[in-house]
């Protein structure tokens, strides 16, 4: 039997077209952003004053229904599809709207709450994340536990007097923790069990006795990091996400979303790539410091390569969303996504610095963005760890 006899029925073809509804959604978002994005950029959200300014912006977004478009309406979203979420992100970055200082809650904690939270936890916490009322910090890393997260030593022990736990330990490199109201993190609930066993995922109110937070500056000079010291900090039983001893499973599921789709949508890089093309055209048009033809050719090639890589990342995301909607699990492929966006971000900024020459001696969006981009290969699980995951989980290579 030939192929044509077996398969006479036509399917919907691969296509890159948006539906009229999706086009309408884009137009609506674009119009709202046109009218509402602050004309003057806000001060950096990784500083104390800037963070407060950004929270006001988050409130505006929430009231307009744009804080978390893909969430259910009842929990602070607007029931948008994944495609609409991608469109929203694209428009958001195209309009140079403020950075999302609540992103740890939105993109790291929330997926874990949706997957592992009780109904009460979801209803209580998610709307407050969307509105920016609660700002969440991460409590993963410790001074001795970075890539080897499972070696962490912060502990939780039963409170002998109350229904709950007492948390003790030192979390560090916690993004914007100095300005946050809450922290999620992993603590060891069983001294007998080692490594990833015996860990529990806790949701912690930071405004209480025993918590001490000290901010410190990131590479780019903003106070974006903090040490969080906990000394017998009480948390009630219902602040556990996913059950006692289930912390690793919950954390890895949310780390997957941090690495993958939700943390770094293509819109962000498309906006950077578009700014890079503008920069290239300004450089070629500028009379001063006119590069030679050969120099321009090599810079042009670099800009074209960044364009290719940005489109490839955009299409990778669309491919993954297509498969998710078809019912497939993306799973460990999120490690590939993480490598893709982190390397892309560095390359985009390096190319801009090569174009800018003298401007790169000063603090500006490109130089700050470059310094920030170097963090991308470190946070959300270093790229070295991601490569181990790809090698062992996707290729099936032997462990040590």
Partner 1 sequence: MDLTNSEESSALAQTVRMVLEGTVTPDLIRNAGREPDNSKVRQCWTAIAETGVLGALVPEASGGLGLSLTDVIETFEAFGYSGAPMPYIESICLTVPAVASADSVLLDSVLTGKTIMTATPSTIDPAGYTGMSDYVLVGSEVQAQSSAYLCECSSSVLSAAAASIDESRAYRYVDVPDEAQPMRVDAKSWETATIASASALVGLSRRILDMTVDYVGQRQQFGRPIGSFQAIKHQLADVKANLVRVVPLIKAGACEVERTETGSFRYVSAAKIMAARVAAETVKVGIQCHGAMAYTTEYDLQLFAKQVWALSVQWGSVRQHHRRLAHQLDTELAA
- Nearest CA-CA partner of 302 in 341, 260, 264, 347: 347
The residue among 281 and 364 lying less far from partner 1, judged by its C-beta, is 281
What secondary structure letter does DSSP report for 100? -
Cβ 223 to partner 1, closest distance in Å?
Answer: 34
The residue among 110 and 302 lying less far from partner 1, judged by its C-beta, is 302
Tell me the window of 167-175, 211-219, 243-251, 384-392 that interacts with partner 1 (CB under 8 A).
Answer: 384-392
Cβ 31 to partner 1, closest distance in Å?
Answer: 22
Neighbours of 164 (CB within 10 A): 16
The reply on whether position 27 binds partner 1 by CB under 8 A is no
Q: What angle do CA 351, 321, 37 make, to 5 degrees?
A: 60
Query: How many angstroms separate the CA atoms of 331 and 333, rounded?
Result: 5
Query: CA of 48: how far to CAs of 7, 52, 174, 227, in Å?
Result: 62, 7, 15, 15
Query: How many angstroms separate the CA atoms of 188 and 171, rounded?
Result: 13
Please name the residue that has the structure tokens 């760890």.
385
- Judge whether 258 counts as a catalytic residue: yes
Among 252, 304, 357, 363, binds partner 1 (CB under 8 A): 304
90, 258, 309, 333: which is the annotated catalytic residue?
Answer: 258
Q: What angle do CA 320, 322, 325 make, to 5 degrees?
A: 105
The residue among 138 and 317 lying less far from partner 1, judged by its C-beta, is 317
Sketch the per residue contact string, 62 through 101, with partner 1: x for CB under 8 A, - otherwise.
Answer: ---------------------x------------------
Among 227, 258, 333, 345, binds partner 1 (CB under 8 A): 333
What secondary structure letter does DSSP report for 151? G
Neighbours of 115 (CB within 10 A): 15
The reply on whether position 120 binds partner 1 by CB under 8 A is no
Find out whether 70 and 85 touch, Cβ atoms under 8 Å: yes
The reply on whether position 329 binds partner 1 by CB under 8 A is no
Among 24, 49, 212, 384, binds partner 1 (CB under 8 A): 384
Q: What angle do CA 37, 43, 44 make, to 5 degrees?
A: 105
Catalytic residues: 258
Q: What residues line the site for partner 1 (CB under 8 A)? A: 2-4, 6-7, 9-18, 22, 83, 277, 281, 300-301, 304, 307-308, 311-313, 315-316, 318-319, 321-323, 326, 333, 335-336, 339-340, 384, 386-388, 390-392, 394-400
């Amino acid at each position: 039997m030939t192929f044509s006899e077996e398969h006479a029925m036509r399917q919907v073809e691969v296509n890159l077209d948006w539906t009229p509804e999706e086009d309408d959604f884009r137009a609506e978002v674009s119009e709202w952003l046109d009218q509402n994005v602050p004309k003057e950029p806000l001060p950096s959200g990784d500083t104390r004053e800037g963070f407060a300014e950004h929270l006001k912006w988050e409130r505006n977004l929430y009231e307009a229904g744009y804080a978390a478009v893909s969430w259910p309406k009842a929990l602070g979203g607007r029931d948008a599809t994944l495609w609409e979420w991608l469109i929203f992100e694209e428009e958001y970055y195209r309009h140079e709207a403020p950075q999302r200082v609540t992103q740890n809650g939105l993109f790291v904690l929330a997926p874990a709450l949706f997957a592992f939270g009780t109904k009460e936890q979801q209803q209580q916490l998610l709307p407050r994340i969307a509105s920016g009322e609660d700002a969440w910090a991460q409590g993963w890393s410790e001074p001795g536990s970075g890539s080897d997260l499972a070696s962490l030593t912060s502990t939780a022990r039963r409170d002998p007097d109350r229904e709950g736990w007492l948390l003790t330990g030192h979390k560090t490199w916690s993004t914007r923790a100095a300005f946050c109201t809450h922290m999620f993190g992993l603590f060891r609930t069983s001294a007998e069990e080692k490594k990833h066993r015996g860990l529990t995922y806790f949701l912690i109110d930071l405004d209480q006795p025993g918590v001490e937070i000290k901010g410190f500056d990131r590479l780019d000079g903003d106070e974006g990091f903090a040490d969080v010291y906990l000394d017998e900090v009480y948390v009630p039983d219902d602040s556990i996400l996913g059950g006692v001893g289930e912390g690793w499973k919950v954390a890895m599921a949310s780390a997957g979303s941090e690495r993958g789709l939700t943390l770094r949508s293509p819109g962000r890089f498309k906006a950077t790539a578009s700014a890079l093309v503008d920069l290239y055209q300004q450089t070629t048009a500028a009379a001063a410091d006119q590069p030679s033809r050969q120099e321009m050719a090599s810079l042009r090639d670099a800009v074209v390569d960044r364009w290719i890589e940005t489109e490839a990342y955009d299409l990778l995301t669309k491919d993954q969303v297509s498969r998710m909607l078809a019912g497939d699990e993306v799973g460990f492929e999120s490690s590939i996504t993480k490598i893709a966006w982190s390397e892309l971000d560095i390359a985009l900024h390096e190319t801009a610095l090569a174009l800018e020459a003298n401007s790169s001696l000063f603090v500006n969006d490109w130089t700050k963005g470059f310094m920030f981009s170097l963090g991308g290969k470190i946070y959300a699980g270093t790229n070295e760890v991601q490569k181990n995951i790809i090698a062992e989980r996707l290729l099936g290579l032997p462990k040590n």
